Every structure is written in structure tokens, then in C-alpha cells.
Amino acid sequence: SCFLALGISVPDPRKREELIKLEASMRIGGHLRLSPEEQQVDAQLRKLMQEEMARTDFPPALHFFKARPLIRRSPIYSLLQKMPKGAALHVHDFAMVDVEWLVRNVTYRSHCYMCFTDNHSVRFSFSSGLPKPRLNCSAWTLLEQLRAQTVNVTDLDNGIMSKLTLWTEEDPEIVYPSQDVVWERFEQAFLATFGLVTYAPVFKDYVREGLSQFYRDNVMYVEVRALLPETYELDGSTNSKEWTVKTFQETTRQFVEEHPDFFGARVIATFHRGANVSLVTLAVQEAMKLQAEFPETMAGFDLVGREDTGSPLWLFREALSLPAAQGFNLPYFFHAGETDHEGTEVDQNMLDALLFNTSRIGHGFALLRHPLAKKLSRMNGVAIEVCPISNQVLKLVKDLRNHPAAVLMSEGHPLVISSDDPSMFGASGLSDDFYEAFVGFGGLGNNLGSLKELAMNSIRYSSLPPNLQEKCMSMWQTKWNSFVTENLQGTQAEL
Amino acid sequence: SCFLALGISVPDPRKREELIKLEASMRIGGHLRLSPEEQQVDAQLRKLMQEEMARTDFPPALHFFKARPLIRRSPIYSLLQKMPKGAALHVHDFAMVDVEWLVRNVTYRSHCYMCFTDNHSVRFSFSSGLPKPRLNCSAWTLLEQLRAQTVNVTDLDNGIMSKLTLWTEEDPEIVYPSQDVVWERFEQAFLATFGLVTYAPVFKDYVREGLSQFYRDNVMYVEVRALLPETYELDGSTNSKEWTVKTFQETTRQFVEEHPDFFGARVIATFHRGANVSLVTLAVQEAMKLQAEFPETMAGFDLVGREDTGSPLWLFREALSLPAAQGFNLPYFFHAGETDHEGTEVDQNMLDALLFNTSRIGHGFALLRHPLAKKLSRMNGVAIEVCPISNQVLKLVKDLRNHPAAVLMSEGHPLVISSDDPSMFGASGLSDDFYEAFVGFGGLGNNLGSLKELAMNSIRYSSLPPNLQEKCMSMWQTKWNSFVTENLQGTQAEL
Ligand SMILES: [Zn+2]
Ligand SMILES: [Zn+2]
């Protein structure tokens, strides 16, 4: 009997308190000892959680597009915004900056052309003259001229904005009835963004604005999954991938100089999993080159794009074995298990990611259904990057209380919370996803310790080498202490 | 490193096949060796599963009310219907028999009165004269007379039928927008059924028809959660609970005599968890009395009704400790964890059920979020009674692939599949729920072994004493062998 192992010969109700405590200690943050100050903030948080759970319109049960206004008014959200959340470890370039900035800032720059695609999306190009015609797209129109001829420019701008994000005020269940539809719209929005962000002068500003938005949300370090595209200039000439990494590196350094309490950013080079084996082989080789050239900025390599329609990792086994075969260390950070098709080839991606020694697993939504992969991930400290809002918007789960990470949190599995593509989902920084994770994945089971451990995990499972991790953690600890003290003063002021 | 424990010093892609096999062996039925005949049926099944998973309208992802026509046309469903499924261990009296039988048979009997409640439900009473007026209900009308005056009797009968079930042809998301609404309608449908089924002559026929419907669905043994109400006669006189148990016992014996390949049925006495402590105490005492008087028929005791609005088990701790304190063995079969409110008092029901030595856990939907309770359930062989369609209709989960039992199955957790209240959900016997479990909880990960183990589990985790379990299992094995042979012939005939 398992009760026997717990020192009880038969089930014994007198052991109840002890067992409840034992179970609570298993969950994320459950083993942390909170200081008296932290306990006071925690008591306040518990009251807020009780109010939150008594709501009939419980936000984590709703689609984020409906829940957002409720979340943003929640006092728990305000607290989470102020909280130093550590690092964002799973965020994609081109979905880091809110679309309002893209439209109000970027599309208002000179020489910005737009065309309408046959499938109701748009494309952009900055060009000194008229860009050459694009397949399946209308004639190019200079936005400056279009706006001059338009009566209601706000409507026009809102229309453009809606092409750059999945966010909608309409009923998302109706607009996006299936995974196929939502992924198609998702990819179109990426393509629309592409022409804006790969314009070299915009790229610099974009990176800076991305860091800035995370910084304002009290995130101190970011690892960006980046396609590292070539950028282009007004005359149509292009800059290499090296230019892109270098620009990312320099922009980050400057941002850190101006914001000494921001720790920095690194890049995980990504490539599309829909590509064929020879292209992926080239991409791996290119990533090795960049890794060697920019060891401080480059964190490693990943494959991106919809898993269900892409090739399984196993198809790329030779390409992925190249670095190890050459004795070269190219860390992997594979997206894997972002699927609900059980037992398919793609469903083995998590095990394969582990076999290729992945440093973390992006999403791992299907991990629970793979007890061995789960065990390997836990024992080897391969953290799962959980992106709750992304999984909900991309229709893997409806009520976030049923998200598998609720289970992973209850078991103290190594995991971090991230936001994947915040601009695509109408989310901002990490706070919306932290809200969903904190309130939705555990409810009253969570406490301040859960949040503390989530933040610490984001540094512990980052790609930073030990000495930098230590430095980052100590910077975070200082921030955390201030956060606790400030909210303690808040509690006392209310008395 | 966990890889080390598996005999690999570093993650090694060459171990892939071995690891995939190891993981597959962990799942339910994964350790079973299939005979060459079973393997042939399994190959056929695998093809069907591949076709099923390629559908864009994948039934387990849809609400059962929308999925049912698709399921009923699926060749997997036909196979599951023919398959000897063993026992139904979680079914409630008053929701065992399809509502068509209730309307076409029961409400057409003489002396059947009906009234309309203020909240759009109905109540029934059989009576030699006009029943006395009922609070919050219209005047009683004799159905025989009402039908004689009605032009479209089919419409009337369909209207009555709709009051006895949650099943609807309309969009269930709109008709039942929240758990509160669906539970309210659920309870009203029970109350409407109550007056029909507690009429003594109907009760006998109802039990018989219930057994018969499960028998026709190739279920050989049933454990019925029964309120064991007093029944009434035409003159308003009532029969005791003892009469009810005795009638159940005699009806079952006769059914077994007429159907020697049916194994039988037992009763788990149930009481409403919304009641106060003194009523629950009386109910426990009454259950002990019945258990002593009808040891062959009575299996034990349970508390029923919506957990979120009922009292936590812990409130009844003294009442539930009574039998053990008196050295009396009253087995428990508690509903627990049928909730998505995490960290509440009610959310501890699973641990409390285990502390009170429950024999099985009804639903355990929240079990995954309680790693210690889960461990205790596994180590002590306390099986989870999984009722997929019930959990979906009562709005705990939308896409059944996200049901926690998908994880429990992948880990080989002790569990059985049951149908809870098939008539309320428009389901029939066990086959609909077996379809959802087999296709939804594992997809291509499942095989014939999964089904075999699910069926065997239903006998292994029944309340039957060892000698009867053995007898039941050997009867089932014979049925299983025929099933395999017949479907083997089917395969060969197709060649
Ligand atoms: Zn991603
Ligand atoms: Zn039930």
C-alpha cells in the first residue's frame, strides 16, 4: 500500500493535514519558504484570488479575446504587471511589438507601399520607387497617398492593424472556427508583418521597441526566436544575416546601457519545419556559423511553424546530428508537442527533441500523454516553455483550467511561462500569460511562492552561462525584494 | 541523468525505437501480448483509426450532441458495439433507460398524470384519482385525456421526451451556456423522471429494461448508483427501501435466468451531498442496514449531486467514519473531483475519498492536479470511473482529447470507462463512451490491447468478491474470444 510508504497502515483521516501539506509542497514554488514580508503579500494575494474565483465570468475559462478586458481590470493583473517576472524565453521576432506601434509608427514612415493579396491579407514594401509587382497581390499603393485620399483614415489604419494580428473584437469562435483557419490567418499576419520589419531602418527600431515593451512589463531578459531574415534598404539592396544578428546585438547593448536594470537579450535562430531536408541542413550549418561568430548573442537553433502540417523532427535527424558529429555545440530549443493529434509521427517530436539533447521544449502541450518523455524532461531539467494564450488562441484548449501545464505546475515540473507571439494575440509582454497561468493553472492552489519560482525558473532555465545566470538572478532578487516591500507598504497603507 | 537510468549516457537517437516501445508499454493494455488472431483484428482497427483521425470533423473534438451521428456511422463504433465490454461500473438509476422507452411505454400506461412546473419542467404521478395539487406546478392532467385532445401527439410526446433528457437537436453551446444552467436542467430532468420510475409497477419494468439495454450493448454486469427511493402504488400507498432493493434483486435474478450470459447487477446506495450532516448520518446508517440485509446485491455507499454546490466530503467525516468505528464493512464508491475549481474545499474530495478507503473514485476529473491523491489511487488500485460524455455535456471539458483520462490511459492508471447517465446525454449503454475513450484518449496510441484491458479492468475493479470476479472474467474471456474470431472472419471475408 502506498499509504504504508507514507507511514500509515490504513487510510487514516487523521493524516489529512499532513497529506495536504505534502501535496502542496510538490507544486511549483511549494517548497519555497516565504519571508514574513512575502507571507503578508501572499495573504493579500489569496484574498484577491478568492474574489477572482467567485466570478461567474472566470477569465481563464473564456477565450482570451473575451477575457482581456476582465483581466486588465483585475487587481491580480496589476500586481503581476509590477512583479519582476525575470525572463521571456519563448517569444518570436515579428510578434514582439504591438501592432498599434507598427501601424502608427512604421506605416507612417516615408516610402511605405502596400498591396492587397487575393486572400484578403496585405503586403508591405519600403522603396524609393514603385516596387516591382507581386504575385497574387494588387498594384502597390503608396500609403502616404492612400491616406491623403481616404476620408476615414482611422478606419483605414484599423483595417491595416487587423491584418497584422489575430486579435479581433468579433466572436473568435466564429472568426476562427478551426485550427486550419486560425493557422492560415496566423501565417498571413506574419507575412504581412514581414515587409515592414525587414526594412533595415525599421528593424533596428523594432528590436529596440520590442525590448522596451518587455522591459516596461517588468521583464529583464529575453530570448528571441528569430528567423534572422536578410533586411533590405530603400534601393532594394539587402543586408546579410550577419548584419541582422549584429544589429540585434548592438541594439540590445545600447538598450542595456540606457537601462542598466535590464539584463539583455539573446537569439535562437529559427527555420521553418515545412522546408525540405536539404534546406534544413543548410539552416543548421548557417546556425553553426552564426553561433561561432556571435557566441554571446546566439543561444542556439529551433524549427518553427505549425507542427501538424510540418515534417516531424525525425525526418531531419541527419541535419540535427551534424553539430554533435563535428564536436560543435549548437544548443537546441525545439518547439515540440504543439499538437492534439495523438500517436502520429509529429507526436513523437518531444521524444526526438530530447534525444537530440534539446535545452528546453517549446510548448510541450502533448507532454502529459507521453509519460516517458515527461520523465526525461523532468529528470534532465529540460524545461517546458508554456504559452497559455497562444495554445488557447490556436485552438488546442478552450478552458485554460484544462491546459496540461496546470498538471505540470501541480507536480513541480520544470517550466517557464512565456507569450510566444503577444502581438498576434493582443497580449502584452508576459503579464497576460502570467495571469492565465497563475489564476487558471491552480487557482487557490497557487500562492506567491508559485510566482516566485516561475520567475526564478525563467533565469535558471535560460541559455545564459552560469556566471551570467548568477548575475541575472541576483539582479532579479533585488527587484523582487523591492516589489515585496512596495506591496507590503501598499497593504499597510490600506489598513 | 534519467537517460543514464535507461542505460544511455547521453541522449542517443539510436535508442529511439526502444524508448518508443517502452513508453507504449506504459499505457493501458500496453503490456498485453496479443494473440496472432488479436493482432489481425488490431491491424484492421489501426486502419480504421487512421481514417478516423484524418477526418476534419473529428468526433471527440466536437460536443457529443453534434458528434453522435458521426460516431454512430463510424465502423469503429460498430466494432465497439459488438465488443464484450465487461461491466458498467458507474451508472445511475433513473438515467439508465433511454427516454423514448419512458415516453412510448411508461407515459402511455393508464392513470398517468402530468403537470407543468413554473420553471418549464414537468412532473408525473400515477394515481387512481386526481393526485393532490403540487407546489409550483400547474393542475394535473391525465395524459390519456391530453393526448385525446391533442392534434399532433408526436409533437406532444417529443416535448415530454425533451423534459426527460439534456439531449437536444439545437446547438448545445447556446442551450447550455454555463455549468449552472446545464446542472439546473439536469436536476429538473431527474425530478421529471422520478414520478414515472418510482411508480412500483414501472420500477420493476424499468430495472429490467435498464439491464436489457446494457445487455444489448454487450455489457455483462452493471453496478447501479441507486437512490433507492420508496416506490408508490396507484392508491398512494408506498413501499419501503427494502422493497426497492428486493425488487432490484429479484428482477436481476430473473433477467440472469433468462439470459445466462449476463452476469448480474449490484447496487451502490446513493444520497445527495447537498443534504445536511444529520441526514447523511441517517443515510449511512440506512446503507449499513441494507448492506447487512442484502449482502449479495448491495455493493456499498456513495454521495451524489453536483460537487461544486454540495458540501465537501470532509464535512461528513463523522458519518463516514461510523461503519469502520463499528467494525462494519460498508464499501465506499465516492464521486470525487468532478470539478474544475482548483484549490477549494471540494477539490480535496479525492484525497478525502481515499482517506475513507473508497473502493473506486467516480470521475476524478481533477485527479491529475493532485499528484499525491493520484499516486495513492494508483498504488492502492483505486480505479477512476471515467465518464467522458458526461464530463463534456456537463461542461468540464470541450475537446475530449484534453480530458485528463487521456493522460491516465497513457500512464496505465487503474481506470474504467462508464456512461454515468446515458439517457440524459442521448448516449446508449457503454459504446458511445468507449468510442470517445478509444478514439479521443490516445488516437493512434491505442490498440486492441487498450480495449481489452479496459474491459478486463471493469471486472477487476468491480465490487464482486474474488470467486465471482473469476467467474465473471472467464465468462468475459469466452465472449472476447468469440468476438475476436468473428471479426477475424470478417477480415478474411473482405479479402
Ligand atoms: Zn513559438
Ligand atoms: Zn455519476
pLDDT in tens, B211-259: 999 999 999 999 999 999 999 999 999 999 999 999 999 999 999 999 9
At residue B310 the predicted structure's pLDDT band, cuts being 50, 70 and 90, is very high
What is the β-pairing status of strands B335-336 and B383-386?
unpaired
Question: Hey, is the C-beta of A317 within 8 angstroms of any chain B C-beta?
Answer: yes
Share the mean pLDDT of chain A. Answer: 95
**Which residues of chain B neighbour A10 with C-beta distances below 8 Å?**
357
For chains A and B, count residue pairs whose Cβ atoms are closer than 8 Å.
169
Q: What does the pLDDT average to over A72-101? A: 97
Task: Write down the pLDDT at residue A8.
Answer: 60
DSSP string computed for A91-154: EETTSSS-HHHHHHTGGGSTTEEEEEBTTS-EEEEE-SSPPPP-TTB---EEHHHHHHH-S-HH
Backbone angles phi, psi at A9, to 5 degrees: -80, -35
Task: Write down the pLDDT at residue B14.
Answer: 82
DSSP string computed for A382-428: -EEEE-HHHHHHTTS-SSGGGSHHHHHHHTT-SEEE--BSHHHHT--
**Which residues of chain A neighbour B354 with C-beta distances below 8 Å?**
11
Question: Hey, is the C-beta of B119 within 8 angstroms of any chain A C-beta?
Answer: no
Q: Which residues of A are catalytic?
A: 338, 363
Three-class SS state of A369: helix
Ligand in closest contact with the CA of B223: 2
**Which residues of chain A neighbour B24 with C-beta distances below 8 Å?**
none
Q: Where are the beta strands (DSSP E) in A251-358?
A: 264-272, 298-304, 333-336
pTM assigned to the model:
0.95
Ligand 2 center–CA B335 separation, angstroms = 7
B491: pLDDT strictly greater than 70 = no
**Coarse DSSP helix, strand, coil percentages of chain B, rounded to the nearest 5 percent:** 55, 15, 35
Shortest distance between the Cα of B190 and any Cα of chain A, in A, equals: 25
Return the C-alpha cell found at B186. 439536469
Shortest distance between the Cα of B257 and any Cα of chain A, in A, equals: 39
Q: Which residues, in sequence order, are CB contacts of A495 under 8 Å at separation 6+?
A: none
Task: Decide if B195 contacts B124 (C-beta within 8 A).
Answer: yes
**Coarse DSSP helix, strand, coil percentages of chain A, rounded to the nearest 5 percent:** 55, 15, 35
Q: What does the pLDDT average to over A439-464? A: 97
A442: pLDDT strictly greater than 60 = yes
Question: Hey, is the C-beta of A277 within 8 angstroms of any chain B C-beta?
Answer: no
Ligand in closest contact with the CA of A273: 1
Shortest distance between the Cα of A37 and any Cα of chain B, in A, equals: 23
Task: Write down the pLDDT at residue A14.
Answer: 82
Question: Hey, is the C-beta of B175 within 8 angstroms of any chain A C-beta?
Answer: no
Q: Which of B12, B27, B369 sits opposite A355 (nearest CB)?
A: B12
Q: Where are the beta strands (DSSP E) in A130-263?
A: 141-142, 221-226, 231-232, 238-239
Higher pLDDT, A489 or A307: A307
* C-beta atoms of A379 and B1 within 8 A: yes
Cβ-based neighbour number of residue B239 at 10 Å: 17
Shortest distance between the Cα of B54 and any Cα of chain A, in A, equals: 10
* C-beta atoms of B2 and A402 within 8 A: no
Q: Which residue of B has its CA nearest to A359?
A: B11
Task: Write down the pLDDT at residue B343.
Answer: 85
* C-beta atoms of B380 and A2 within 8 A: yes
* C-beta atoms of B23 and A373 within 8 A: yes
Q: Which residue of B has its CA nearest to A369?
A: B407
Reported ipTM exceeds the 0.90 cut:
yes
- What is the C-alpha separation between A229 and A232, in angstroms, rounded? 9
* C-beta atoms of B19 and A401 within 8 A: no
Task: Decide if B296 contacts B308 (C-beta within 8 A).
Answer: no
Alpha-carbon distance values, B488 to B35, B75, B78, B132, B482 (Å): 12, 15, 15, 61, 10
Question: Hey, is the C-beta of B62 within 8 angstroms of any chain A C-beta?
Answer: no
Cα four-point dihedral sign B213, B216, B219, B222: positive
Q: Which residues of B are catalytic?
A: 338, 363
Question: Hey, is the C-beta of B321 within 8 angstroms of any chain A C-beta?
Answer: yes
* C-beta atoms of A372 and B407 within 8 A: no
Percent of chain B with pLDDT over 70: 97
B18-50 pLDDT, tens per residue?
A: 999 999 999 999 999 999 999 999 999 999 999
Ligand 2 center–CA B425 separation, angstroms = 12
Ligand in closest contact with the CA of B93: 2
Q: Which of B341, B356, B411 sits opposite A443 (nearest CB)?
A: B341
**Which residues of chain B neighbour A16 with C-beta distances below 8 Å?**
314, 351-352, 355
**Which residues of chain B neighbour A399 with C-beta distances below 8 Å?**
340, 397-398
Length of chain A: 495
Question: Hey, is the C-beta of B43 within 8 angstroms of any chain A C-beta?
Answer: no
Dihedral class, residue A460 (left if φ above 0, else alpha if ψ from -120 to 50, else beta)? alpha
At residue B1 the predicted structure's pLDDT band, cuts being 50, 70 and 90, is low
B127-139 pLDDT, tens per residue?
A: 999 999 999 999 9
Task: Decide if A256 contacts A291 (C-beta within 8 A).
Answer: no
A402-417 pLDDT, tens per residue?
A: 999 999 999 999 999 9
Which B residues, 376 through 405, put their C-beta within 8 Å of a C-beta on chain A? 376, 378-380, 396-399, 401-402, 404
Shortest distance between the Cα of A329 and any Cα of chain B, in A, equals: 14
Ligand in closest contact with the CA of A387: 1
Ligand in closest contact with the CA of A268: 1
Q: What does the pLDDT average to over A279-294? A: 98
Neighbours of ion ligand 2 (CB under 5 A): B 420
Backbone angles phi, psi at A114, to 5 degrees: -135, 145
Q: Which residues, in sequence order, are CB contacts of A298 under 8 Å at separation 6+?
A: A245, A266, A267, A268, A269, A287, A290, A291
Q: Which of A3-7, A244-248, B120-124 bottoms out in mean pLDDT, i.e. has the lowest?
A: A3-7
At residue B495 the predicted structure's pLDDT band, cuts being 50, 70 and 90, is very low
- What is the C-alpha separation between A445 and A457, in angstroms, rounded? 19
Q: What does the pLDDT average to over A110-123? A: 97
* C-beta atoms of B342 and A443 within 8 A: yes
Q: What residue type is B484 in one-letter code?
A: V
Task: Write down the pLDDT at residue B342.
Answer: 84
Return the C-alpha cell found at A59. 477569465
Q: Which residue of A has its CA nearest to B308?
A: A54
Q: Which of B12, B13, B443 sits opposite A342 (nearest CB)?
A: B443
A175-216 pLDDT, tens per residue?
A: 999 999 999 999 999 999 999 999 999 999 999 999 999 999
**Which residues of chain B neighbour A361 with C-beta distances below 8 Å?**
none
- What is the C-alpha separation between A409 and A450, in angstroms, rounded? 8
Q: Which of A13, A342, A380 sits opposite B401 (nearest CB)?
A: A342
Task: Write down the pLDDT at residue B476.
Answer: 98
Q: Which residues, in sequence order, are CB contacts of B410 under 8 Å at separation 6+?
A: A368, A369, A370, A371, B26, B27, B28, B442, B445
Percent of chain A with pLDDT over 90: 94
Question: Hey, is the C-beta of B25 within 8 angstroms of any chain A C-beta?
Answer: no
Q: Which of B3, B16, B354 sits opposite A380 (nearest CB)?
A: B3
Return the C-alpha cell found at B486. 468473428
Shortest distance between the Cα of B371 and any Cα of chain A, in A, equals: 6
Q: Residue B439 has what DSSP assignment?
A: I
A258: pLDDT strictly greater than 50 = yes
Q: Which residue of B has its CA nearest to A12?
A: B355
Question: Hey, is the C-beta of A181 within 8 angstroms of any chain B C-beta?
Answer: no
A493: pLDDT strictly greater than 90 = no
Strand partners, B415: B384
Q: What residue type is B417 in one-letter code?
A: I
Task: Write down the pLDDT at residue A2.
Answer: 60
B10: pLDDT strictly greater than 70 = no
Percent of chain B with pLDDT over 90: 93
Q: What does the pLDDT average to over A253-257? A: 98
Task: Decide if B418 contacts B362 (C-beta within 8 A).
Answer: no
What is the β-pairing status of strands A122-126 and A112-116?
antiparallel
Ligand in closest contact with the CA of B225: 2
Q: Which residues, in sequence order, are CB contacts of A435 under 8 Å at separation 6+?
A: A59, A71, A74, A76, A77, A80
* C-beta atoms of B371 and A410 within 8 A: yes
* C-beta atoms of A402 and B340 within 8 A: yes
Ligand 1 center–CA A149 separation, angstroms = 39
Task: Write down the pLDDT at residue A495.
Answer: 44
Task: Write down the pLDDT at residue A12.
Answer: 78
Q: What does the pLDDT average to over B264-283? A: 97
A83: pLDDT strictly greater than 80 = yes
Q: Which of B352, B370, B444 sits opposite A410 (nearest CB)?
A: B370
**Which residues of chain A neighbour B56 with C-beta distances below 8 Å?**
178, 180
